[in-house]
Amino acid sequence: MLSDTHAHLASDTFAGQVEEVLERAAAAGVGRLVAIGCDVASSRRSLALAERYPQVWAAVGLHPTYVAEEPNADWLAQLEVMAGHPRCVAIGETGLDFYHPAPEGWAWDDYVGRQRACFAAQLELAAACGKNVVVHQRDRSGTACWEAIKEILGPFQGRLRAVFHCWLHPWEEARPLVEQGHLISFTGIATYKNAPVVAACAREAAAGSFMLETDSPYLAPVPHRGKRNEPAFLRETAAQVAQLRSSSAADLEAMVEAAAADFFRFPSP
């Protein structure tokens, strides 16, 4: 069995098709999924899916590119209630995004300040409720986003762990994070010929330091690239990562599943 540790199952892209998507995932050996929230509404939908389908669990959070759009002034209080739900296994997707421009009407510094405040608030929530966090990090160029994330995350060392999802950087950048107890996660990008840095990192990463995800409906792996991604396609990413590591599929799956079970603390069947 494989776990898709990051799927936007509550996305409108999957509306009315979730049952079929989960059936295809099960047929491909993807037997567990974490449905990711990006705002209050999608977090609620993710929890509803987790209540309905036993193979689905939920993460609830406010994505950095949604901080200027979230209509609920009490979003953090609502996330706190959701975080106490037995089907919630993490806080996220949270983090920082310095790639996309500020929304209309927002100065860049104000937008970044809002992202930072929301990220820090969700880390406090995660530490208080005993959950780990799913972290988004994206920069147009340079290291400003990374430096800000490390600065904000630093005081929480030992209080929670983070998974840096959709990892795009060399293993040498991941190593210090892993040494602090955090994880990285690979998407279908690991199968792309134009992503040698990601492939090299997947090859070099220490055993137990990473998980796998689809980030569906985005980033479909080869041979599905350009199509809508879905959890069943995690099988292709797993096969490619196993090949990169000269590992058997069974060994690779056992390793990433152990990491996922430990990070999300899935209850035993």
Per residue of the chain (269 residues), give pLDDT as tens.
Answer: 899 999 999 999 999 999 999 999 999 999 999 999 999 999 999 999 999 999 999 999 999 999 999 999 999 999 999 999 999 999 999 999 999 999 999 999 999 999 999 999 999 999 999 999 999 999 988 899 999 999 999 999 999 999 999 999 999 999 999 999 999 999 999 999 999 999 999 999 999 999 999 999 999 999 999 999 999 999 999 999 999 999 999 999 999 999 999 999 998 65
Position 69 in a domain: yes
Across the chain, where does the E strand assignment appear? 2-7, 30-36, 56-60, 88-98, 132-139, 162-164, 183-186, 210-212
The answer to whether 32 and 266 have CB atoms below 8 angstroms apart is yes
* DSSP output for 113-145: HHHHHHHHHHHHHHHHHT-EEEEEEEESSSSHH
Position 227 in a domain: yes
Position 163 in a domain: yes
Q: Report yes or no on whether pTM surpasses 0.95.
A: yes
Position 64 in a domain: yes
Q: The domain containing residue 68 runs over which residues? A: 2-264
Q: How far apart are CA 193 and CA 198, in angstroms?
A: 10
Position 26 in a domain: yes
Position 158 in a domain: yes
- CA dihedral angle for residue 105, residue 120, residue 198, residue 178, rounded to 10 degrees: 170
Position 269 in a domain: no
CATH code of the domain containing 21: 3.20.20.140
Query: Residue length, the chain?
Result: 269
Q: How many domains does the chain have?
A: 1
**3-class SS shares of the chain: helix, strand, coil, % to 5:** 45, 20, 35
Q: How far apart are CA 132 and CA 156, in angstroms?
A: 11
> Which residues, in sequence order, are CB contacts of 147 under 8 Å at separation 6+?
none
* DSSP output for 57-71: EEEE---GGGTTT--
Position 102 in a domain: yes
